[in-house]
Amino acid sequence: MLSSLCVGVISQWLGRKRAMIINNIFAFIGGSLMGLSQVCQSYEMMITGRFIIGVFSGLASGLVPMYVGEISPTHLRGALGTLHQLSLVIGILFAQVLGLDLFLGTRSRWPALFWATLIPAALQSVLLPFCPESPRFLYIVCEQEGQARTSLRRFTGLLDVSEALSEMKEEKRQMDTQPKVSILQIFRSRTYRQPIIVAIMLQLSQQLSGINAIFYYSTDIFSKAGVEQPIYATIGAGIVNTAFTVVSLFLVERAGRRTLHLVGLAGMITCALLMTTAMVLQDTMPSISALSMAAIFGFVAFFEIGPGPIPWFIVAELFSQGPRPAAMAIAGCTNWTSNFIVGMFFPYVVDLCGPYVFLLFALLLLGFFIFTYFRVPETRGRSFDEISHAFRRNHSLLEQEVKASTELDSLGGGEEM
């Protein structure tokens, strides 16, 4: 939560690529502290290591989607953005499998799980320096047209990148007419109010959907549903999680972000209702545990079709280069804060609501569905400048309507007088 708020400042100060490379320092320190905690007999090292890994995670969750969004061509931006979510769910699945007693989930081998944290950090530290910096950052923020042109050529494989540069030039021209945008200025500005509300609501729709309640407490949920070996059912959910992220990867550029998000939310509402029915009837109908498992797998599948991957990358699409870092910081902090709330309070909500706990999530999902239907724009196939212009146009129309309404009210008041 805390480090995600720093994404905007750090990404502007160090650049997207350099910030991601330096961020791996936190992964090395945190993983090493956790891995050494058993040898040193120190739970303080474990706590400190977890805290430092949290710093790494908060920064990575903002830096990676921002970088990917800025380097992606318009027609592939959604698909490449979904790869971020795919990497997350693959990591979750690996952790679940390695945590089995068969592998590293034993009293003597568990520290190796934390040492494994260093492997992806080492790979990124070695490979990322060979990747170009974001051409948008180089051209719009650093004003280095030559380096931006070189970066574009490396990414696209084209010698003539004038079309992409002209788009950036127009975005930079608009950015130069506005002051630098901070987190507070985004909330104060009427221009950015609508897109930041959309960004926040999409992040909330991901985390308050109930998906983390299932993954944090899935073993307990499957156990109560009558599953004899609940840990394997949890891994099954992880496999479904990964498989349907791949499905979303192929659909996002065909169906569109808004459509997939709506389909995912609608499917999750249905599965939450089925899950509630199964949990209410499981004492009187033990055979209904199969419905409970099917509902959980369906819930996970629909999550990865829309609410899982889309909120991560659509925030970068909703904002132009100027406010984008601050917007990513706000979105990331919203995501981790709601994640924290669900993780901390779900057991208490279960004690309070019993088998009806997922009705609460169904109501939240219904609210997010209605909001998405009426307020979230489709960004597929549109450049950053086109999306930003659409928000400005909507804001201008709203101001004109308010002005016209005010003038009519004043004329009506004058007639009465």
Q: What is the pLDDT of residues 99-109, one digit of tens each?
A: 999 999 999 99
Coil, strand or helix at 181: coil
CB 332 within 8 A of CB 58: yes
Q: What is the pLDDT of residues 108-118, one digit of tens each?
A: 999 999 999 99
d(CA 236, CA 244): 12
Q: Could you tell me which of 256, 330, 320, 339 has the C-alpha nearest to residue 69?
A: 320
Coil, strand or helix at 409: helix
What pLDDT is recorded for position 404? 52
CB 65 within 8 A of CB 312: yes
Q: What is the pLDDT of residues 128-172, one digit of tens each?
A: 999 999 999 999 889 899 999 999 999 999 888 988 898 888 888
Q: What is the pLDDT of residues 57-66, one digit of tens each?
A: 999 999 999 9
Longest C-alpha distance within the chain, in Å? Answer: 87
d(CA 118, CA 153): 32
pTM of the predicted protein model: 0.88
Q: How far is CA 230 from the centre of its chain?
A: 28
Say how many residues make up the chain. Answer: 417
d(CA 141, CA 148): 11
Handedness of CA 166, 172, 177, 183 (dihedral sign): positive
> Using 50, 70 and 90 to split pLDDT, how confident is the model at 85?
very high
User: Which amino acid is present at 207?
Assistant: Q
Residue appearing with tokens 């779900």: 346
Query: What is the average per-residue pLDDT within 385-400?
Result: 64
d(CA 218, CA 212): 9
